[in-house]
Amino acid sequence: MTQEPHDQDRWNAVDAYVTDLLCPADEALTAALAASDEAGLPQIAVAANQGKLLHLLARIQGARTILEIGTLGGYSSIWLARALPEGGRLVTLEYSPAHAEVARRNLARAGLDAVAEVRTGAALDTLPELEAEGAGPFDLVFVDADKKNNPHYVEWALRLTRPGSVIVVDNVVRGGTVLDTGTADEATRGTRDMFDLVARDPRLDATAFQTVGTKGYDGMLVARVVS
């Protein structure tokens, strides 16, 4: 099999081809990205085809309750919330009050403000609050926040799920730096620690895959809670 050279333009073109055919944007999704840009949010939301993947995973899972750790402007939140059945609920946690306000407006514009709740504050503070309230168990958890805390987020995901729940962690390849054992980068160290945790925890059955596209070279981890 012939291997093509690394070519960001080609990766982008393939993403555009797939997106145009299988997951075209609509007014709410386009507006969410535009509003995030206007508010000066970093352009780190999932790509459209990745958002559609999250949507399909939630639908396949039959998720009625979803927890998202890391909201940004609510683009991925829209994809996830749209997968919920009537009566379903999404709780999404965002550190930045400014980002959370953008997300709330985007979710309201998409007609999802009654389905999705945006909570503001450090996730390691708001996750214990959810547990104290008896929230969950969540059917699907999507982790896409500060990477140095990935191990803690997965540990909390385990506390707030049940056997059969699915946990998805974004940005786990990091351009290949996940191989750097001696790295001083906190995000890479947190990702490696998360891999170690998932690998040794008998409650999780997991895999990870590499991705290329408009978001560069990265990947996702998908795990199922088995006990």
Concatenated DSSP letters of 37-55: HHTT--S-SPPHHHHHHHH
* Cα–Cα distance, 77 to 69 (Å, whole number): 10
Do residues 141 and 157 touch, judged by C-beta distance below 8 A? yes
For residue 136, what are its two tokens? 């969950």
Q: What's the CATH number where 198 sits?
A: 3.40.50.150
How large is the average pLDDT for residues 41-45?
Answer: 97
64 pLDDT tier (thresholds 50, 70, 90):
very high
* Cα–Cα distance, 107 to 103 (Å, whole number): 6
In a domain, 84, yes or no: yes
In a domain, 182, yes or no: yes
How large is the average pLDDT for residues 182-198?
Answer: 97
pLDDT digits (tens, 9 = 90+) for 75-96: 999 999 999 999 999 999 999 9
Domain that holds residue 24: 8-225
pLDDT digits (tens, 9 = 90+) for 98-148: 999 999 999 999 999 999 999 999 999 999 999 999 999 999 999 999 999
In a domain, 67, yes or no: yes
Q: Which of 25, 121, 131, 15 has its CA nearest to residue 71?
A: 121
How large is the average pLDDT for residues 218-224?
Answer: 98
* Cα–Cα distance, 93 to 41 (Å, whole number): 16
In the chain, alpha helices (H): 8-22, 27-38, 48-61, 75-81, 97-109, 123-133, 150-159, 186-200
In a domain, 75, yes or no: yes
**Interacting residues of 44 by C-beta distance below 8 A, sequence separation 6+:** 72
* pLDDT given at position 2: 44
Per-chain mean pLDDT for the chain: 96
In a domain, 1, yes or no: no
Q: Helix, strand or coil for residue 120?
A: strand
In a domain, 117, yes or no: yes
* Cα–Cα distance, 3 to 111 (Å, whole number): 44
Q: Which of 131, 144, 162, 160 has its CA nearest to residue 224?
A: 162
Is the dihedral angle over the CA atoms 121, 124, 128, 130 positive or is it negative?
positive
Full-model pTM: 0.97
In a domain, 214, yes or no: yes
Domain tally for the chain?
1
* Cα–Cα distance, 160 to 192 (Å, whole number): 22
How large is the average pLDDT for residues 191-220?
Answer: 97
* pLDDT given at position 6: 76
* pLDDT given at position 25: 87
pLDDT digits (tens, 9 = 90+) for 120-132: 999 999 999 999 9
In a domain, 171, yes or no: yes
> Which residue is associated with the tokens 């389905």?
115
CB atoms within 10 A of CB 181: 8
* pLDDT given at position 198: 98
Angle 155-159-162 (CA atoms, 0-180°, nearest 5)?
120
Do residues 142 and 80 touch, judged by C-beta distance below 8 A? yes
* Cα–Cα distance, 215 to 54 (Å, whole number): 16
pLDDT of residue 97 exceeding 80, the answer is: yes
Q: What are phi and psi of 223, to 5 degrees?
A: -130, 145
* pLDDT given at position 4: 57
* pLDDT given at position 5: 57
